[in-house]
Each structure stands twice: as C-alpha cells, then as structure tokens.
Amino acid sequence: MYPQPIGLYDPAREHDACGTGFVASIDGVASHEIVQAALQCVCNVTHRGAVSADAKTGDGAGVLTQIPQPLFAKVLRELKAGPVPPPADLAVGVFFLPQDPAVRETAQRLAEAAITGRGLRLIGWRDVPVDPSVLGDKARKTLPVIRHALVARAAAIAADDFERQLFLVRRRIEQSWERERLAGCYVPSFSSKTIVYKGLLVAPQLARFYHDLSDPDYASAIAVFHQRYSTNTFPTWFLAQPFRFLGHNG
C-alpha cells in the first residue's frame, strides 16, 4: 500500500495534516526556478488544505523564501528614495493593513515611528501588486491592504544585530497597535533574510494573486511552501501560513 522506506521517507510516519515542504538549491545559488518548483509543489498538495463553501476561498497557502534581491533592486530604483543600501542591509516588512483608510493611516504612522525609533531608515512603502479577482468571495471581502515597508540598516547598527533590531521593531509595532486597539493589522514577516507571501488562498491561486511570484527577477535559493488545513481555528488572512520562520503540518 505504501512505498518502501527511502531517503527521509518512512511509511511508518504517514499522517494526515497540512501540506508542507521545502525546495532548496544545494549549491546555494538563488534562481527563479527554485521559486517555480516550490509553487508547483504547493499546488501538488492542494488536497491537503481546506476549502470554504464558496469552493474558492482556501484555508491558507503561502511560501517563505529568501528576499529576492533582483526584484527588490528594481523596486528600489522605482521608489527613487535616496541611496540604495547593499543587499545585506535591506529589510522588507510585509504588512497586512486595514481596509479603512483612517485606521490604515494610523497603523502606518505607528509602524514608521517604531522603525525610526530604533534608528533604522524607512526607504518607503510599496503597494504589493495583487489580483483580487482570483479569490473566493470570503477572501475578497476580508482582503487586507498588502504593503511592503522597505527598511535600511543604519551605520550605528552592527550587521550581525540587524535581525534582532527588526524583531524588536516588529514587536513594538504590534504592541502599539494593541494599545491603540487597531483591528485588521498584521505583520507576516519583517526580515533582511526572508520574506513571506501568504493569504487566504488555495495553492493554485497563490502565483496568480501575487504578481511578484511570477516575475523572473524573483530569485531565491530556498523556499518553504505550505497549504493549510485548520482543525481548531477559523481561517483568516492572518492565520494563513507559513509562519514567519517556518511552516508546520500539525
């Protein structure tokens, strides 16, 4: 009934849960092919996720990759917001923001204050190109405004302390949102090393929804993919996985 044990596979460990896995370049070379392989893999585990009654709203799907440096080099040129930092000194925060313009403006203002308060330079905000038409009704009605905050490391911050500072910034942002009781705010990832593209999707919608994932300049040497099957929580944009650092399969 099952294949024989081979490599990391052992039929004794068969369990039903979320669909998750990873693709990596053994030589560590970033390429768009790695991203394409991960997107194909997550589509191959669509059956491991749940679907809403509208037959289009998924329980969540996403990928975690390295920051695609060629893509964001292009984004930085388009922003024209001062000196371009070296790749290792660039961080990208992924923000799910409220649909309400007034609440969204407050949420961004608090985020900017937290970023500059830690001595980091906010290069600018980027509207992530998406196609809401591929979503199911529930996912489209609850769709947050998705933006990237591009942040540069300041000279006063040591290179090996950059990730720690970004973690502290994210926590301060979240705490300020909680104090102001702002609803509909979430940070899927904030790092100089990795970035998360996720949503209330089924896997085949992922690359069609996020235009970045189809861009040939989106290159990574690693990709963690995840198709979610929730067993104890209602699906939301925030709970769609992978997590900020990994994806789990329950």
Quick check: is 107 in a domain?
A: yes
CATH number of the structural domain spanning residue 188: 3.60.20.10
Residue 23 lies in a domain: no
How large is the average pLDDT for residues 130-134?
Answer: 95
Contact 51, 236 (CB under 8 A): no
Q: 248: pLDDT confidence band, cut at 50, 70 and 90? A: low
pLDDT one-digit tens code per residue, 139-189: 899 999 999 999 999 999 999 999 999 999 999 999 999 999 999 999 999
Give 62's contacts (C-beta < 8 A, 6+ positions apart).
Answer: 188, 196, 197, 198, 199, 201, 206, 225, 226, 240, 241, 242, 247
Mean pLDDT over residues 34-56, rounded? 82
Which one of 18, 41, 43, 185 is the catalytic residue? 18
* 38 and 218 Cβ atoms separated by less than 8 Å: no
| Average confidence score pLDDT of the chain | 88
Domain residue limits at 140:
29-48+55-227
Mean pLDDT of 192-217: 94
Is-catalytic flag, 18?
yes
Is the whole model's pTM more than 0.85, yes or no? yes
- Say which residue the tokens 């947050």 belong to: 144
Report percent pLDDT > 90 for the chain: 64
Q: Does the pLDDT at position 1 exceed 60? A: no
Q: List strands edge to edge, sheet with 19-24.
A: 19-24, 222-227, 61-66, 194-199
- Residue 205 forms part of a structural domain: yes
- Domain count within the chain: 1
Residue 130 confidence (pLDDT) above 80: yes
Determine, yes or no, domain membership for 120: yes
CA distance 183 to 37: 36
